[in-house]
Amino acid sequence: MELEKCEKNSNSEDNLNCTTKIVLNMAVPSGSSGGEASIVAELVEVEENSSRKMQTLRIPPVITVNKTSAYALYQLTYIRDVPYKPEEYYVKTRKCEPDAGANVVKICERLRDEEGHIIEYTQPICCPCGPQRRMPSSCGNFFDKLTKGKANTAHCVRFPGDWFHVFGIGRRTLGFSVRIQVKSGTKVSEVFVGPENRTVISDDKFLRVNLIGDFVGYTNIPSFEDFYLVVPRQGSPGQPQDLGRNISMWMLLERVRFTLDGIECNKIGVSYEAFNQQPNFCSSPFWTCLHNQLWNFREADLNRISRNQVPLYGLEGRFERINQHPSAGSYSFSIGITEVLSTNLVLELSANDVEYVYQRSPGKIISVSVPTFEALTQFGVATITTKNTGEVEASYSLTFNCSKDITLMEEQFLIMKPNEVTTQSCKIYPSTDQASKYFCAVVLKDSDYNEVDRAECQFATTATVLDNDTHGMPFQPPEASINSFFDSIESIWNKIWRSLTEFITGKTCRYYLQLYFSFASYKI
């Protein structure tokens, strides 16, 4: 948080009414799985930009940030309506003709529109009887053919049941809203920002918020340019005014699974024409041309769900917070973002009327102690005892400056209440292994970084002992004079002569035998 001067530019509507302002840069993370989040903070201290001094606010403003769930928003383009489950019907009959009435072909009679015009390609397709036909049937006997006519089957496609709207999926955007409220005394300022309104100023010109950007990996924000969204049709055909809330039936399917003109078989959106114009109609299996429809993908998902598996085509069970964005309509849909999304905000508050608390108090260094320690050990420890001799609580800093061969130590900061005595410890690192004496100065500074007391001390280090595990007398090298050499020769000759004499006289043998029998007597 910094205290800066207000700058004016040509766009006066985006400026605060101030000469100084408090600038706060903050990151607001989303909740778990991209859910809602909130932060409540109290602005206690600010750093003055020119002097780098911290100043305490007399009436700390309270900042409340509420962030809605994050979502990915996709633009939609209506394409057409398609049947959910096209069905092929057949009727066993005689005298089947394309223009036959309902008394002959029943459900496969030609269809007419609201004005009575015949709908093209809705006439029945007549196939002869026999076991190798589209629908195997008996041809009857010879007399039936003469009296009733030749047996055959009438085939047609109809679209009973539900229809679905098909939408193309376009550009995606990130969506959320952040509410920032600042309460300073009795004054309350509030703004809302989001990806679409990134810079907002409050009505009272006290608060200005700028949305800098978002920190997100986008690993869980899919792209659907190669998919169509299908939703159940609510009412009449054509572009809907509302997508409806039957989200359990919404599906995302690849574009290659659709036939937009209806003339391809085995694709979603198949038409009367594609069904009636398929080659080798009567010799092809029943339901040929009507595979890979919406109901097939829906049934596949239901089978996976019954086995506790994630659906492959439906949105429900794969995504969170489906179409819960504000003003959800027919031209867009959304899914919730499930990763943490941190939003970077810069808050600017008018600081013209802000009052600051400045507390400065005298202090004293009571004692400084540095015990003697061995040089080049890990460190030595200096203990400094200080006291706040004033009447208000204040902050202080301690500086420990020593003579050469001592590594520079960091300045320490502390806060003391009135008449409070505190003890601080500083680690001292010598840079030589030689025994030495050092002189140091300890400086106590107040909250304004002015010196209020100073104390000097001295301490010593002992030389480093390189081998602390050596025991006994130190090694004494032999003297190198010529007399000591002949004395050594004489000593060696005397030992040899004494040993030879004892061996001849038997003294050595008696001595060892006596030791042996004494040992044996002891054992018995």
* Domain edges within the chain: 87-158, 361-462
48 exposure class (CB count in 10 Å sphere: 0-12, 13-18, 19+) = middle
Band of the pLDDT at 457, cuts 50, 70, 90?
confident
242 exposure class (CB count in 10 Å sphere: 0-12, 13-18, 19+) = exposed
pLDDT of residue 358: 64
Contact predicate 188/131, CB 8 Å: no
> Which of 323-327, 464-468, 511-515 comes out lowest in average pLDDT?
511-515
Band of the pLDDT at 499, cuts 50, 70, 90?
low
pLDDT of residue 80: 94
209 exposure class (CB count in 10 Å sphere: 0-12, 13-18, 19+) = buried
pLDDT of residue 410: 74
Looking at per-residue pLDDT, the higher value among 483 and 101 belongs to 101
Nearest to 366 by CA among 406, 437, 420, 429: 420
**Average pLDDT over every residue of 39-66:** 80
Cα angle for residues 244, 249, 250 (degrees, 5° grid): 70
Query: C-alpha 152: how far from its chain's center?
Result: 67
pLDDT of residue 213: 81
Q: In the chain, what percentage of residues exceed pLDDT 70?
A: 81
Tokens of 123: 């006439």
Looking at per-residue pLDDT, the higher value among 14 and 220 belongs to 14
Q: Is the pLDDT of residue 389 over 80?
A: yes
> Which of 69-78, 90-99, 291-300, 498-507 comes out lowest in average pLDDT?
498-507
**What three-state secondary structure class fits 304?**
helix
**Average pLDDT over every residue of 60-80:** 90
**Average pLDDT over every residue of 27-44:** 83
23 exposure class (CB count in 10 Å sphere: 0-12, 13-18, 19+) = middle
Band of the pLDDT at 487, cuts 50, 70, 90?
low
Give every CB contact of residue 343 below 8 A, 6+ residues apart in sequence. 27, 28, 29, 30, 67, 176, 178, 211, 213, 214, 215
Which pTM value belongs to this model? 0.62
**CA-based max dimension of the chain:** 158
Q: How far apart are CA 300 and CA 293, in angstroms?
A: 11
Tokens of 75: 């633009």
Q: Is the pLDDT of residue 290 over 90?
A: yes
Tokens of 162: 């539900």
Q: Is the pLDDT of residue 149 over 70?
A: no
Q: Is the pLDDT of residue 51 over 80?
A: no
Q: Is the pLDDT of residue 523 over 70?
A: no
Highest mean pLDDT among 51-65, 301-315, 379-393, 394-408: 301-315
Residue 495 belongs to what H/E stretch? helix 482-505
> Which of 145-154, 219-228, 269-278, 487-496 comes out lowest in average pLDDT?
487-496
Fold type of domain 361-462: Immunoglobulin-like (2.60.40)
Cα dihedral 13/16/22/24 (nearest 10):
-20
Q: State the average pLDDT for the chain.
A: 82
> Which of 7-16, 25-34, 271-280 comes out lowest in average pLDDT?
7-16
Q: Is the dihedral of CA 250, 252, 257, 261 positive or negative?
A: positive
pLDDT of residue 330: 64
Q: Is the pLDDT of residue 108 over 90?
A: yes
Looking at per-residue pLDDT, the higher value among 521 and 205 belongs to 205
Tokens of 102: 């309902």
**Average pLDDT over every residue of 207-221:** 75
Residue 523 belongs to what H/E stretch? helix 507-523
Highest mean pLDDT among 182-186, 467-471, 487-491: 182-186
Highest mean pLDDT among 175-184, 304-313, 366-375: 304-313
**Average pLDDT over every residue of 86-100:** 91
Contact predicate 428/381, CB 8 Å: yes
